[in-house]
Structure 1
Amino acid sequence: MRDNYPNFPGFESVYLEDSYVLDITVHPAVLSLQLDLLLLPGHPEYGAPSPGDRACFRRATIVFSPVCDLHWTGQSVGRPAIDASGTLDFGSVGCLTRDQDNYELQGDWGTILLRSSSPSLSIDPSPSPDPNETA
């Protein structure tokens, strides 16, 4: 049975299609994606967008582990974009689906097919307020 990421535990109220992939790392038995993740209003970490942002974005990591098998095609298709702050990004996650323990991820960075346990999503703690700013 094919399933889309909003049905994965921990992936509720996030929107990968408008998130930014900052890095993809593959190590033996581990695949991780670093993201500027778009949180939807129903997410417990959701807050007002930062000044200049169009939505609530938070740094996050998706980890697949243990990975039993991984095929990554189309890696040379896209080059990273550089945003106004100088941060590189590789586009968004066009899709993340599962069929039993088989997963497919697609984006400007190519297509990754893998066999793994369920992915985990961790969201970085929100940044501390700037002590020099006044409310």
Structure 2
Amino acid sequence: MGKSIASRFENIDVTRSVLRAVIINDDELTLEMDFCLEPAHPDYETPGAGDDCCFHPGLLKFAGISKLGLERAEHPDQTQRRFAIQSFNIEGTKFDMACEWGTIHLQARSIRVLTE
């Protein structure tokens, strides 16, 4: 039996995490993230100068997508590499996120959380 989605986010502050990239491939969607780790996370390190969080790279991988809605926000600065998250919700097979990149709504058979 695998871990629940909620337990995979233990000691990760998702709303302080940032989105780096959105990758679409067939019926899969991958979100490249910089997760904000809390002190109790096993990979936590003291944040560097100028950082208010211990950022750690990771991925959210969605497979078997049956519904997908992406709405990209207008960005005057095309060089932006990190997008702040305003809201984030996973409930069962449904996922919703609003961030500076735009909004993502989907339903997927598989939702995996991977940290590098």
Q: Alignment identity in percent?
A: 21
TM-superposition CA deviations, 1:53-95 (whole Å, max 9, x none): 222111111111121221112x13335575xxxx722x22222
Is 1:88–2:81 an aligned residue pair? yes
Gaps of 5+ in 2: none
Instruction: Please give the TM-score of this superposition, normalised by the length of structure 2.
Output: 0.80
Match of 1:77 in 2: 74
Among 44, 47, 52, which residue is 2:45 paired with?
Answer: 47
Partners of 2:77 and 2:113 lie apart in 1 by 23
* Aligned 1:1-135 pairs, distance under 5 A: 8-73=6-71, 75-78=72-75, 88-89=81-82, 91-124=83-116
| Structure with the higher strand share, 1 or 2 | 2
Instruction: Please give the TM-score of this superposition, normalised by the length of structure 1.
Output: 0.70
- Residues 100 and 121 from structure 1, CA distance in 2 versus in 1: closer, same or farther, beyond 3 angstroms? closer
The answer to whether the 8 Å contact 2:36/2:53 transfers is yes
- Runs of 4 or more consecutive aligned structure 1 residues displaced over 6 Å after TM superposition: none
- Residues 53 and 104 from structure 1, CA distance in 2 versus in 1: closer, same or farther, beyond 3 angstroms? same
How many residues are matched? 112
Partners of 2:28 and 2:89 lie apart in 1 by 18
Report how far residue 29 of structure 1 moved: 1.4
Indicate the structure (1 or 2) with the bigger Cα radius of gyration: 1
